[in-house]
């Protein structure tokens, strides 16, 4: 986004309507936190954490735990640090502005990777092997990963993101199979429902839509309008086609060498 021409810092707001950076309801998040907290983790690693809302809730639920969130977006990390301070968690969490590729931050008792496997590797199988490396034996990985609810048509693919391909995602069964092959057993398999998707996608754009409606002549209006219109067209095309699976994964114990 070009900001040099924006007067008086009057920029489109960013993601203030979102609690989680993904299609995740309060009810589902609370259930996830309960399940993960029951394992009594001492350490939590959040890959591609954004502002780390789920990590912070898990730390609140397990008072002795410490967390590290890794991301490359400074603004999101600053939001996470502010939230941690407001909730009395600043001494137990670090938000690190760095790449997660080949990270040495693990192993952790809980690894969160919600819509961020590409931060580890663009190849999902490689990313899953990295998650197995980063989680401690007996720990948990919570993976949020896209999957095709059905095979998209060529016309649908043309209306999604630039260069969209049917090879971009697997079906749900194949996705779970890849996790098993990487050294996990699926403790819990669930998928975001349509209401979660619609709330997320609407909240993702809502602030900027309202901003734009009041500023049609703003220097950033043309650019903002084009971006919003393109994303809305994309998500209304993949609505009901692209799903998001939440897999709670238990690492298998590697037998000792004989």
- What integer pLDDT is reported at residue 88 of this predicted model? 97
| 46 located within any domain | yes
| 129 located within any domain | yes
| 108 located within any domain | yes
Q: What is the pLDDT of residues 135-163, one digit of tens each?
A: 999 999 999 999 999 999 999 999 999 99
Evaluate if residue 183 carries a pLDDT over 90. Answer: yes
| 54 located within any domain | yes
| 206 located within any domain | no
Would you place residue 114 in the very low, low, confident or very high pLDDT band (cuts 50, 70, 90)? very high
**CATH classification of the domain holding 121:** 3.40.50.150
Q: Give me the number of domains the chain comprises.
A: 1
Evaluate if residue 19 carries a pLDDT over 60. Answer: yes
State pTM to two decimals: 0.93
138 in Cβ contact with 169 (< 8 Å) = no
pLDDT higher for 9 or 230?
230
- Look at residues 169, 163, 211, 170 and name the one whose alpha carbon lies nearest to residue 15: 211
| 82 located within any domain | yes
| 233 located within any domain | no
Q: What is the pLDDT of residues 59-81, one digit of tens each?
A: 999 999 999 999 999 999 999 99
Beta bridge mates, 188: 248
pLDDT higher for 255 or 74?
74
Which residue range forms the structural domain that includes residue 132? Answer: 21-150+166-193+241-251
Positive/negative CA dihedral, 153, 201, 78, 61: negative
What percent of the chain has pLDDT above 90?
A: 92
| 89 located within any domain | yes
Q: Residue-wise over 144-155: b if at least 16 C-beta within 10 A, else e? A: bbbbbeeebeee
């Amino acid at each position: 986004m070009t900001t040099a021409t924006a007067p008086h810092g009057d920029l489109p707001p960013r993601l203030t309507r979102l609690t989680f950076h993904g299609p995740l309801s309060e009810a589902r998040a609370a259930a996830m936190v309960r399940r993960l907290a029951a394992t009594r983790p001492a350490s939590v690693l959040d890959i591609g954490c954004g502002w780390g809302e789920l990590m912070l809730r898990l730390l609140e639920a397990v008072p002795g735990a410490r967390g590290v969130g890794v991301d490359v977006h400074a603004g999101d990390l600053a939001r996470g640090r502010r939230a941690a301070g407001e909730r009395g968690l600043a001494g137990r969490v670090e938000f690190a502005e760095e790449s997660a590729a080949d990270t040495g931050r693990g192993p952790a008792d809980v690894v969160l990777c919600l819509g961020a496997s590409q931060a580890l590797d663009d190849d999902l199988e490689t990313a899953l092997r990295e998650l197995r490396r980063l989680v401690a034996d007996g720990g948990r990985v919570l993976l949020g990963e896209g999957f095709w609810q059905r095979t998209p048509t060529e016309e649908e693919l043309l209306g999604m993101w630039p260069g969209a391909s049917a090879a971009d995602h697997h079906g749900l069964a194949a996705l779970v199979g890849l996790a098993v092959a990487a050294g996990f057993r699926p403790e819990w398999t669930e998928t975001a429902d349509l209401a979660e998707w619609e709330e997320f996608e609407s909240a993702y754009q809502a602030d900027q839509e309202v901003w734009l409606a009041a500023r049609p002549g703003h220097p950033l209006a043309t650019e903002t309008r084009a971006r919003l219109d393109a994303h809305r067209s994309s998500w209304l095309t993949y609505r009901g086609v692209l799903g998001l699976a939440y897999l709670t994964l238990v690492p298998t114990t590697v037998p000792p060498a004989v």
